[in-house]
Amino acid sequence: MKTAVMGSGGWGTALALDLLENGHDVTLWSYQEEESKVLRETGENPMLKGVPLPETLALTSDLSCVKGCKVVVLATPSFAVRSTARSLKAVLDPGTVVVSVSKGIEKDTSLTLTDAIGAELGPDYPVVALCGPSHAEEVGRRIPTAVVSASKDQKAAEMVQDLFMNERFRVYTSPDIVGVELGAALKNIIALCAGCCDGMGFGDNTKAALMTRGLTEIARLGVAMGGRRETFAGLTGVGDLIVTCTSMHSRNRRCGILIGQGVPVQEAVKQIGAVVEGYYATATGKALAEKMGVEMPITEAAYAVLYEGKDPRKVLTELMTRAKKHEIEDSWL
Ligand SMILES: NC(=O)c1ccc[n+]([C@@H]2O[C@H](COP(=O)([O-])OP(=O)(O)OC[C@H]3O[C@@H](n4cnc5c(N)ncnc54)[C@H](O)[C@@H]3O)[C@@H](O)[C@H]2O)c1
């Protein structure tokens, strides 16, 4: 099948290689010609060192590569998803399935990324979110991975499942696109916080508490937005949270470690050298929580550190000394 992957960062490249492995005709599109040139000349992506790019992978920076594609994958940072969808509209064939693999919430609208794509493209293009615990560095090396293809359109979700699935890349389907996308976007906030706790020298207890209470507040917002509670116990909820809070592949966690060690926030984001989605998700997640009237104390604490310059140690003490609570929200009701 003719496909195109828009965005030649680590994730777009790893997914392009998976599609190629499955025998599809794949073009990897770069935002800048310079990026495409580096891939062509070095035969690898600097984000995926040691993973060779086969000659059968077409490389371009020309948007018209999507013409005739049955499926187009958007793998840009979340802030560029809408603008990329907008520029594609003139060249996409009607009926093309558009797959969002980015993780985030749109800044000014608080929309999920597939809703932002839908708003640009209109109803003629089925939209799917493909998310889950999946580091590009591992998918690129064909390490067994499982993700979720979520869509309101069952046929489109199953088509994407068939397209990507192989013995090293297992794909489940789900109708709960809201739950899947919110879990994927919001866990990056918790990963930054987990890294920050590591950077401050705290231990496994701290991280376990953060991850569990983080998942509680993610699910609280996700359910308020119409997501299904069980989705947050799945691959794109707890699964993605585990991978991103515990791995050194996670740039969100690595950025958090730097901040916990005392590196100024902007400098830490810069040092990572690739998109740190948790930085943006903290602001969008907080705005969405306020809009929905949902309590998200860890997200608020992350915001205070990232955007208001508060000391993470002080913020952690404030979290620990909040008013007493039941663990389960409807206890003894
Ligand atoms: N890296 C991973 O392991 C991984 C896994 C799952 C999901 N994701 C998600 O995929 C998305 C991309 O991540 P990545 O790791 O490939 O990032 P990256 O920083 O490696 O690459 C991002 C790509 O987007 C391009 N880009 C930058 N600005 C752009 C613009 N204005 N318009 C279009 N393209 C632009 C860059 O040139 C680059 O090729 C993120 O939302 C991330 O959360 C990443």
Residue 333 pLDDT > 70 = no
CA 205 from centre of chain: 26
Copy the structure tokens of residue 213. Answer: 């209470």
Task: Tell me the C-alpha distance between 21 and 5, whole Å.
Answer: 14
Which pLDDT does position 186 carry in this prediction? 98
**Ligand 1, atom 23, residue with closest C-alpha:** 9
Q: For 163-182, write each residue's pLDDT tens digit.
A: 999 999 999 999 999 999 99
Question: Exposure pattern of 187-226 as b/e (b: 16+ CB <10 Å)?
Answer: bbbbbbbbbbbbbbebeeebbeebbebbbebbbbbbbebe
Give the SS3 label for residue 282. helix
Q: How many DSSP H helices and E strands does the chain contain?
A: 14, 8
The separation between the first and the last C-alpha atoms of the chain, rounded to the nearest angstrom, is 55
Q: Report whether pLDDT(286) > 90.
A: yes
- Tens of pLDDT, residues 99-152: 999 999 998 899 999 999 999 999 999 999 999 999 999 999 999 999 999 999
Among residues of the chain, what percentage have pLDDT more than 90? 96
CA atoms of 124 and 117, how far apart (whole Å): 12
Give the single-character DSSP code of 305. H
Give residue for tokens 């983080």: 214
Question: Average pLDDT over the chain, rounded to whole?
Answer: 97
Which residue has the least CA distance to atom 44 on ligand 1?
A: 11
pLDDT tens sequence across 216-233: 999 999 999 999 999 999
Q: How far apart are CA 171 and CA 216, in angstroms?
A: 25
> Would you place residue 330 in the very low, low, confident or very high pLDDT band (cuts 50, 70, 90)?
confident
Residue 332 pLDDT class (50, 70, 90 cuts): confident
Q: Is the pLDDT of residue 80 over 90?
A: yes
CA distance 249 to 290: 31
Mean pLDDT of all residues in 23-49: 97
Nearest by Cα to 285 from 295, 271, 274, 276: 295
The residues that are catalytic are 187
Return the pLDDT at 274.
87
Label residue 7 exposed, middle or buried (CB < 10 Å: 0-12, 13-18, 19+). Answer: buried
Where do the H-state alpha helices sit in the chain?
10-21, 33-42, 81-88, 113-121, 136-139, 154-164, 177-199, 204-224, 240-246, 251-260, 265-272, 277-292, 297-308, 312-320
CA of 13 to the centre of ligand 1 (A): 10
Tell me, in angstroms, the distance from the centre of ligand 1 to residue 113's CA: 13
pTM of the predicted structure, to 2 decimals: 0.96
Say how many Å lie between the CA of residue 281 and the centre of ligand 1: 14
**Closest CA to ligand 1's atom 31:** 80
pLDDT band at 300 (very low <50, low <70, confident <90, very high): very high
Other residues' Cβ atoms within 10 Å of the Cβ of residue 33: 11
Residues with CB under 6 Å of ligand 1 are 7-12, 30-32, 35, 47, 75-78, 80, 83-84, 101-104, 134-136, 274-275, 277
